[in-house]
Amino acid sequence: MEFDLIVKNGIIASASDVIDGQDIGIKDGKIIALGTGLNSTSSSTTTIDAQGGYITPGGVDSHVHLEQPNCPMGDTWETGSRSAVCGGTTTVIAFVSQARQHDSLLPLIEEYSARAEGNSYCDYGLHLILTNPTMKILTEEIPILAKEHGISSVKLYMTYDPMMLRDREILNIMMASRKLGMTTMIHAENHDMIDLIIETLEAEGKTEPYYHSVSRPKIAEAEATYRAISLAELMDAPILLVHVSSQTAAQHIRDAQTRLLPIYGETCPQYLWLLAERLKATEKDHFHGAQAVCSPPLRETSAETDAMWRGIANGTFTTFSSDHAASKYHVEGGKKLGLVDGKPFFRKIPNGLPGLETRLPLLFKGVLEGRITIHDFVRVACSSPAKLYGLPSKGAILPGKDADLCIWYPHGKMKSFSLSNDMLHHDIDYTPYEDIEFANWPRYTVLRGKVVWNRDGEGLTGKIGDGRYIKRGASLLPGPRNIFVNEWRPPM
């Protein structure tokens, strides 16, 4: 057979198995063969020796914010996607965001798509953030986006004044998305609880970054999570609870799954590795904690981070995403928007952390430390996001799939290092994971058969524009069950 690339001597990992001793044969961007002793009839074939390291599917990061208004001084499509491939991720899904004043989605799709086209190092898809779900949008435009543009998921907010939706609006969206086989993503926090706490904290002069975590307690996430699940159960609609940070919220998701409801969960690296103490001032910088401001906030104790690891291991979490929503720290217009005349106001700090490049290494660190298995890693970082978001060519190392690979170092063969921001390829001036020790990192990243990252060689070998837009289909995971809470049925 003729191959463009053969990968030999690796341990191929999936969500259920590992295969040792099988080569991967790649032609025209696709995996066309798995077998022993593959050889090519072409003299131009490239061979990679994995040297006994794990080979996992290219990462699918299904929650990424690039070139959006909520990330001032943040990553562009070029710099964000560049950092993705350097961290083993070959597909990202970013967000087209509707503002309240927008009464049509189609111009927004066109404008945001133009930002990405020709500017991405990795493949990409788009979600849609809805803040003004008029009946015209739900009945006329959403079907066009799903069928013609391949946008098969919408994201809703239960908090933030400019974005939050009422329960009735959420129900209307669930009704529309259910008809189209779309997945509804929900940011679940109780807005009124948060609003009250912020008001009282500010009256008491407690406005430093640390109080961001105080203002958004676990109970606010837990209540909204339970409410979102209840709304979804009423409508028999599949939902994904994004960036889950607390044990109680995760338990609500687990309980719903036990009842076989199509309820899915996502968590992120910050909720595995960071605690609320990171929001406190340092001796040298009283505003330093702004670097760790995200919502939901970092939690107070390791009991919460342990619960997030447990949620990956026991299957509660379907996806593991970076929620990359980065803003620079050391320049005006980024995180420093939370400084007003030198005084910190946590409410004004742009939310979000950088994390695209570090997502897979941080999760793989959990494999090395025995917190999760390699199967858990592949499931939440590669295969399940591909299935949930309608990417049938992604997320698995099988003949016919896109040849997207992440090749890791053999155990003990990479020199351990402490991470510093200057090692990364984003355009952000800090990383919240500074000084974390890593014993493994993606050695090669392969995008549709092309080596785009070679850590021991030239480093970044991919080019801007390598990435293609992917039209997504309906979710491949269980959806509506046609089981309802009583005799009432939503319009089908």
Nearest to 295 by CA among 263, 314, 270, 330: 270
Interacting residues of 490 by C-beta distance below 8 A, sequence separation 6+: 175, 178, 234, 235, 236
Assigned token pair, 44? 């131009």
CA angle 48, 53, 55 (to 5 degrees): 75
Nearest to 231 by CA among 179, 173, 315: 173
- pLDDT tens digits for range 404-413: 999 999 999 9
Average pLDDT estimate for 263-281:
97
Exposure of 406 in the CB half-sphere (CA atoms within 13 A): 32
pLDDT of residue 460: 98
pLDDT of residue 183: 96
41 and 367 in contact (C-beta within 8 Å)?
no
Radius of gyration (C-alpha) of the chain in whole angstroms: 22
Q: Provide the 10 A C-beta neighbour count for residue 166.
A: 9
Nearest to 327 by CA among 190, 429, 442, 454: 429
Instruction: Measure the CA–CA gap between 391 and 155, rounded to whole angstroms.
Output: 18
- pLDDT tens digits for range 206-259: 999 999 999 999 999 999 999 999 999 999 999 999 999 999 999 999 999 999
**Which of the four pLDDT bands, split at 50, 70 and 90, describes residue 170?**
very high
**Which of the four pLDDT bands, split at 50, 70 and 90, describes residue 188?**
very high
CA 119 to chain centre: 20
Instruction: Measure the CA–CA gap between 208 and 205, rounded to whole angstroms.
Output: 9
- pLDDT tens digits for range 329-363: 998 889 999 999 999 999 999 999 999 999 999 99
pLDDT of residue 42: 84
- Of the two residues 300 and 331, the one the predictor is more confident about is 300
pLDDT of residue 475: 96
492 and 179 in contact (C-beta within 8 Å)?
yes
pLDDT at residue 156 is higher than 90: yes
Q: Name the average pLDDT for the chain.
A: 97
Task: Assign 386 to helix, strand or coil.
Answer: helix
Share of the chain above pLDDT 70, in %: 100
pLDDT at residue 283 is higher than 90: no
pLDDT of residue 486: 97
Nearest to 464 by CA among 479, 449, 478, 447: 447
Instruction: Measure the CA–CA gap between 302 and 315, rounded to whole angstroms.
Output: 20
Quickly tell me which residue has 């050695």 as its tokens.
443
pLDDT of residue 73: 84
Assigned token pair, 279? 């929001």
- pLDDT tens digits for range 55-71: 999 999 999 999 987 77
pLDDT of residue 288: 96
**Mode of pairing for the β-strands spanning 123-129 and 153-157:** parallel
**Which of the four pLDDT bands, split at 50, 70 and 90, describes residue 456?**
very high
**Mode of pairing for the β-strands spanning 405-408 and 442-447:** antiparallel
Nearest to 397 by CA among 74, 95, 33, 109: 33
pLDDT of residue 161: 94
311 and 244 in contact (C-beta within 8 Å)?
yes
Exposure of 167 in the CB half-sphere (CA atoms within 13 A): 12
Q: Provide the 10 A C-beta neighbour count for residue 192.
A: 11
Instruction: Measure the CA–CA gap between 89 and 87, rounded to whole angstroms.
Output: 6
Task: Assign 187 to helix, strand or coil.
Answer: strand
pLDDT of residue 320: 98
pTM recorded for the entire structure: 0.97
Task: Assign 356 to helix, strand or coil.
Answer: coil
pLDDT of residue 415: 96
342 and 71 in contact (C-beta within 8 Å)?
no
Q: Is 129 exposed, middle or buried (0-12, 13-18, 19+ CB in 10 A)?
A: buried
pLDDT at residue 72 is higher than 90: no
